[in-house]
């Protein structure tokens, strides 16, 4: 808990320091304004605006930035977008990005995007949501900061995670398309396996897995290697902390978001030209808003998925039910990886094709994105109009097999920087 308290103190001190600098620069800009009418273009004024908007007044936390998606363009018309809470649970909520289309009827795929619990709030998927909106009815499984959840609400673990996603799919009904990104690929594949085994009518129509640790031992990265070498006891003793007083979740054991982000930055630093989600400006501007993970969930992910590889080995269970991807036979599977991903290397997600052995060949696909790092796969220029279009086309192809036809696809112009290599997944014998 001491480290958590120290982080809070340093965070507030840093904000106070920059606030003083902002006021000083504001004064300097005012003085310059006496001598030039173009003072609003001066560097001090620009820096003042940047710091003021990012940090706010001394001693105050900046308001959560959220998704900040106010409108989208559909059939050449600008349509307002609102965020509606469909289901609100103690540790998460189902959020709907509702497009106000007026008299314009829409027949588009219904997509549930499952945000990862990996140190960042769901707003890290802002680019992902924005690009899907014109052609899809987008929902997101958004997770709450564990430090904001009172202890009386109990604890959140993998079983609860699976239950939340199943509840959301039941709310949305049949023919929903499911997308998992990074760590959320594990619950997405697990939930689809459980529902397929039960012949649940709300089993996803398609499943897209993007850069996730289905088998972290394949082409092992520094992240998964260090996780395996340290062992679960080291994580339990060294990174789990109690939420300090002053928060609703005071006393709750968590894996703090700032610790996870620091660890990721050290183990897998961003490479040149990769999408800068970890940069200083993005962090304080809200794109990298931090999120504390409840300790039971995080420790289970480390032990069961990264160390013991239960999902990959076929030994993962949930409340006495075996999770067997081999039971999936009517859900389309698309896997997307980045060739330069140093967090979940190529192959770690592709192995899902081997695990989902009953999915017919015509209902599966695989794309390796050249020169893409972990965050490039779902945000930035490589994602926009290229990777996103691959997903949109796959979703519609799978729906067509069921006799479902959607509105024409609004295809964005491909980026010159993006190269996506399509491959037929090679299945293990």
Dump pLDDT digits (tens) for 341-386: 999 999 999 999 999 999 999 999 999 999 999 999 999 999 997 8
Instruction: Report residue 308 CA to chain centroid gap.
Output: 24
Ranges of each domain in the chain: 2-55, 71-423
| CA angle centred on 306, ends 8 and 326, rounded to 5° | 130
Which distant-in-sequence residues (6+ apart) come within 8 Å of 14 by Cβ? Answer: none
Percent of the residues in the chain that have a pLDDT greater than 90, as a whole number: 65
Helix boundaries (H) for 211-321: 222-230, 232-238, 257-267, 280-285, 295-300, 310-313
Count of helices and strands (H, E) across the chain: 13, 15
Q: In sequence order, what are the beta bridge partners of 209? A: 180, 335
Contact 19, 58 (CB under 8 A): yes
pLDDT in tens, 296-353: 999 999 999 999 999 999 999 999 999 999 999 999 999 999 999 999 999 999 999 9
Contact 81, 69 (CB under 8 A): yes
CA-wise closest residue to 415 among 127, 154, 77, 203:
127
* DSSP 3-state of 123: helix
| CA angle centred on 14, ends 11 and 19, rounded to 5° | 125
| Cα dihedral sign, 423-194-304-148 | positive
Q: State mean pLDDT over 16-23.
A: 36
Burial of 284 (0-12, 13-18, 19+ CB in 10 A): buried
Contact 187, 311 (CB under 8 A): no
| Cα dihedral sign, 390-391-396-400 | positive
Q: Write out the CATH class of domain 71-423.
A: alpha beta
- CA 168, CA 35: separation in Å to the nearest integer? 60
pLDDT in tens, 88-122: 999 999 999 999 988 788 999 999 999 999 877 88
pLDDT in tens, 129-184: 999 999 999 999 999 999 999 999 999 999 999 999 999 999 999 999 999 999 99
pLDDT in tens, 22-52: 333 333 343 334 333 333 444 444 444 434 4
Contact 60, 140 (CB under 8 A): no
Q: Tokens for 188, please give them.
A: 């997405």
| Cα dihedral sign, 264-270-275-277 | positive
- CA 294, CA 290: separation in Å to the nearest integer? 13
The phi, psi pair for 66, rounded to 5°, reads 65, -155
């Amino acid at each position: 808990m001491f480290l958590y308290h120290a982080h809070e103190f340093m965070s507030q001190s840093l904000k106070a320091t920059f606030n003083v600098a902002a006021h000083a620069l504001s004064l300097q800009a005012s003085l310059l304004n006496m001598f030039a009418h173009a003072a609003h273009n001066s560097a001090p004024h620009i820096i003042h605006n940047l710091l003021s908007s990012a940090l706010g007044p001394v001693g105050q936390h900046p308001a959560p930035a959220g998704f900040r998606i106010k409108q989208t363009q559909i059939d050449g018309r600008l349509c307002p977008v609102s965020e509606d809470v469909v289901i609100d649970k103690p540790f998460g909520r189902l959020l709907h990005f509702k497009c106000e289309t007026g008299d314009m009827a829409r027949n588009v795929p219904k997509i549930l995007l499952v945000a990862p619990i990996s140190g960042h709030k769901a707003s890290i998927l802002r680019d992902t949501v924005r690009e899907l909106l014109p052609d899809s009815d987008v929902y997101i499984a958004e997770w709450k900061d564990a430090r904001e959840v009172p202890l009386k609400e109990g604890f959140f673990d993998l079983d609860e995670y699976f239950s939340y996603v199943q509840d959301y799919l039941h709310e949305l009904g049949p023919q929903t398309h499911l997308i998992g990104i990074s760590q959320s690929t594990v619950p997405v594949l697990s939930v689809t396996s459980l529902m397929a085994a039960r012949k649940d009518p709300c089993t996803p129509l398609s499943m897209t897995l993007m850069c996730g640790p289905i088998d972290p031992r394949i082409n092992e990265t520094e992240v998964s290697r260090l996780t395996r070498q340290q062992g679960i006891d080291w994580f339990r003793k060294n990174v789990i902390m109690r939420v300090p007083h002053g928060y609703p979740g005071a006393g709750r054991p968590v894996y703090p978001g700032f610790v996870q982000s620091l660890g990721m930055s050290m183990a897998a630093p961003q490479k040149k030209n990769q999408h800068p989600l970890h940069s200083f400006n993005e962090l304080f501007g809200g794109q990298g808003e931090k999120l504390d993970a409840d300790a039971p969930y995080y420790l289970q992910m480390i032990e069961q998925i990264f160390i013991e590889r239960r999902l990959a080995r076929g030994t993962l269970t949930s409340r006495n039910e075996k999770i067997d991807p081999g039971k999936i036979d009517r859900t389309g599977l698309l896997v997307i990886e980045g060739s330069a991903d140093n967090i979940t290397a190529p192959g770690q997600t592709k192995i899902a094709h081997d695990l989902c052995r009953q999915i017919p060949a015509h209902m599966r696909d695989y794309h390796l994105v050249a020169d893409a790092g972990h965050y490039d796969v779902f945000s930035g220029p490589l994602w926009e109009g290229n990777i996103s279009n691959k997903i949109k086309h796959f979703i519609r192809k799978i729906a067509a097999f069921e006799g479902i036809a959607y509105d024409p696809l609004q295809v964005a112009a491909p980026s010159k920087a993006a190269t996506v290599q399509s491959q037929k997944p090679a299945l293990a014998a």
